[in-house]
Amino acid sequence: MHLRSRGKTLNVSLSVLLCSLMLLLGACGGGGGGGSSTPDNSVTVSGTVTYEFIPHNEDFIGLDYSAIETRPVRGAVVELVDSTNTPVAITVTDDNGFYSAAVEANTVLRVQVKAQLQRNQAPSWNMTVNDNTNNNRLYALVGSEASVGDSDSQRNLHAPSGWNSGNYATSRPAAPFAILDAVYTSLQQFVDAGYSGNFPPLQLHWSVNNNTADGDLTRGEIGTSFYFDNEIYILGSVDEDTDEFDSHVVVHEWGHYIEDALGRSDSIGGPHQYGDYLDMRVAFSEGFSNAFAAMMLDDAIYRDSSGFNQSNGFMYDVREKNHPAQGWYSEASVESVLYNYFLSGTNKTAKDFSPILSTLTDSSYYNADSLITIFLFAERLIARYPAHRSALEGLLDEQDINSINQYADNETNSGNNSINLPVYKNLSIGGASTSVCSTSEHTDYNKLGVNQFLRLSITQSGNYIVRIERSGGDFVTQSDPDFFIHSRGEIIHEGASSANDVELQTVDLDTGNYIVEIIDYANVGRSSSVTTCFNVFIARQ
Amino acid sequence: MFQKKQGLFWLLTLLMVGGCSNEVATKAGSDLPSAAEPPVIAQEKSNDHHKTHRGKPGAEVSLRENPVHRLEPGVAADVDLGLSASYNQGEMTVTLNTSEGLFILEGATHYAFPLRDNGDYSLPLRLMAAEPGRYYVRIQVVVDYQGRQTTRALSAIVQVGPDTEPRQKTGTSEGVIPLPAQETVIQQP
């Protein structure tokens, strides 16, 4: 690479620039034309790109290697690369996996299909599958190098799963393309719903080394498939947990990206499972992503394979309505409401994703003063689509969610603990302190009742003293009250000292509406059920 | 060559000594107890809980602690992999195995636990690997809770000998990882 002459480097750069420009102008799209100017003595190289998809068993538990399907690689970037590793044409596959490009006759080249979805006209996207255990390099399906000859030719490329006689081979070429295809299916739903915005770039990280140890990401110790900070990591460890063919898992995580990238999410993440009493921000985000996966894939059965030969796993139907925990704090309730609303044909078009999408991307939603919860979503959706009110309200009612106001006014479901009502308490300036309690009854930091929420309205900018003081609750020697002040999804101030039983901070606040989150940090991860109560006071300095 | 021979010797010895037991054994005194490093991802005060991963659904079972268990090559050591399960009822089955080259000398590889309030579940093991390297104890968990079955795969990290693997740089490198295609070429006449 370093031995390249200056002229050659320039040619390479120009070539790539030209191809990129043509992609930008759309000339390379849709598997139609080639990505560079057509030479006089050009020939056409075309073909179809496919990959092996391994479906789940008929009972949805585990993968069925006896039913392997061949599917087209759709929307992927195809490069025709010459012997100096220079792309001489760039295009993308169409919905049948077909590509076509014109190149100079007798050029020696290979076809390279990148694990990359790219579209440059609105809605634009650029999403790749990279190996986090190999310097985040991009995967590409690569054909053999040969002359194109002096007539048109076809080069069909197929990505095998690598499964042979009961085992995977070292290389599993289909995996990155299975992940991409789940994303592509979802992107098409956005196009069909009329979305015209652009998607921020996204890297999905997958490797055969991606295992369930929680450690160094570059070694593949990713713990589980997850979304974090505009990146997705997907498990790939054989006989342990692979997720490349678990499309619902891939799209669930992609749903978290969509929330963050196109709307807003206030989720604090963390472990969650069926039947949990969750922090309402987590319940909404996880319930949304479960329902979202079913909507995008048009398949209500969420399934996740794992174990020896990927033969184990679990499944459930997101349409289910009977759940052990029902309410605004239950991801099962949220997914049930959202998915059954999606299915509903009452005063709306069944399976029309656009009302949900337009609500998520509405500025009144992502700029809301309240937190992102089922309450806000319901309020904003009904505001945009009043005719859908009866359909949505009926579903909310079935899940014992009793308010369609972003601040959960008049909610009566306490999650079996009165400290959780009202959902948002009021905090007044210089007035009486507000009493809140934090509980560890549901054990983890992201469960119902650990965090409590207060509404705060500031009419005069300035410095304010915030004081939180232990006032009662169970007899425990230690509590550690902390607070976080949220402004439209951002934490703008925090008081998180380790002082026992008290927190005192001065914060500067502009006029506006805020949410103050109170937590007893000592209740995070406490092994027994403890409730501690505090007086919260704020005054202008 | 010497290392290979030494590895083969230990492998044969291990197989002769007993291999994997399916019975819960009494904890024996170890030749050299495993040393546990601090957790890889340390829990910090402040608003770290606002920046946590959003992981996939599944059984809510985790390792009680997440240290890197350090062992010396060829030296057996006791490791207790405690599980925390956020369930107050139901049943949990746990199946253990190891990555290639790491051996369970003592300890059960299959458990069935009735779930109880805020339960911690102990999985005592005696482990050994002949060769230095990064190994994993793999744990498959199936939970039956309130009529629904969910699963979770977990792994404990076992570092045998020094950790010599170079750290990778962050960011994205140029070039692609070539995946071999099955290709058919049809030349028009």
The pLDDT assigned to A38 comes to 65
pLDDT score, position B86: 83
Among A267-276, B66-75, B152-161, the least confident range: A267-276
Q: pLDDT value at position B170?
A: 65
H helix or E strand, kind and range, residue A22: helix A6-25
User: Two tokens at A450?
Assistant: 């650990």
The residue among A216, A170, A226 whose CA lies nearest residue B157 is A216
Cα of B14 to nearest chain A Cα, Å = 23
Quote the pLDDT of residue B48. 54
B171 contacts A211? CB cut-off 8 A: no
* Alpha carbon of residue A380 to chain centroid: 21
Minimum-distance CB partner of A267 among B54, B146, B183 = B54
The average confidence (pLDDT) of chain B is 78
Band (B169; pLDDT cuts 50, 70, 90): low
| DSSP reduced 3-state for A13 | helix
**What local confidence, expressed as pLDDT, does residue B123 receive?**
96
Distance (Å) from the alpha carbon of A122 to chain B's nearest alpha carbon: 26
Q: In this structure, what DSSP letter does residue B68 have? A: E
Give residue A217's Cα distance to chain centre: 18
What's at A261, amino acid-wise?
A
Whether A215 sits inside 8 A of B68 (CB atoms) is: yes
- The residue behind tokens 């399907």 is A69
Average pLDDT value for residue range B155-181: 86
Question: In the structure encoding, which two tokens stand for residue A215, read together?
Answer: 């450690």
Report yes or no: A182 and A250 within 8 Å, Cβ to Cβ.
yes
pLDDT(B24) > 50: no
Structure tokens at A446: 């992201």
Helices A331-343 and A389-398: crossing angle, nearest 10°? Answer: 150
Residues of A in contact with B148 (CB under 8 A): 274-275, 314, 316
Q: Does A252 sit within 8 Å of B56, measured CB to CB? A: yes
Q: Please report the number of interchain residue pairs, chain A to chain B, with beta-carbon separation below 8 angstroms.
A: 235
Smallest Cα–Cα separation from A519: which of B72, B12, B46? B46
Q: What is the pairing mode between strands A153-159 and A42-53?
A: parallel
Cα A182 from Cα A162, distance rounded (Å): 19
Of A155, A216, A484, the CB nearest to B47: A484
Q: Which of B47, B151, B156 is the closest to A314 by Cβ?
A: B151
Nearest to A77 by CA among A85, A67, A86, A87: A87
CA torsion A407-A405-A402-A347 (nearest 10°) is: -160
- What tens digit of pLDDT does each residue of B178-189 get? 999 999 999 988
Specify the residue for token string 């291999």.
B19
For residues B19 and A87, the model is more confident at A87
**Which chain B residues are within 8 Å of A496, Cβ to Cβ?**
45-47
Backbone angles phi, psi at A503, to 5 degrees: -140, 130
Q: Which of A215, A241, A307 faces B157 most closely, judged by CB atoms?
A: A215
Q: Rounded to whole angstroms, how far apart are CA atoms A4 and A84?
A: 10
Other beta carbons within 10 Å of A247: 26
Strand partners, A213: B155
Residue numbers in B near A274 (CB within 8 A): 57, 145-146, 148, 150
Residue type for A393, please? E
* B64: closest chain A residue by CA: A525
Residue B25 pLDDT more than 90?
Answer: no
What interhelical angle do A280-297 and A331-343 show, nearest 10? 40
Q: Which residues of chain A have pLDDT under 50?
A: 1-35
Smallest Cα distance from B18 to chain A, Å: 23
Rounded CA gap, A70 and A174, in Å?
10
H helical segments located in A263-406: 280-297, 331-343, 354-360, 363-366, 374-384, 389-398
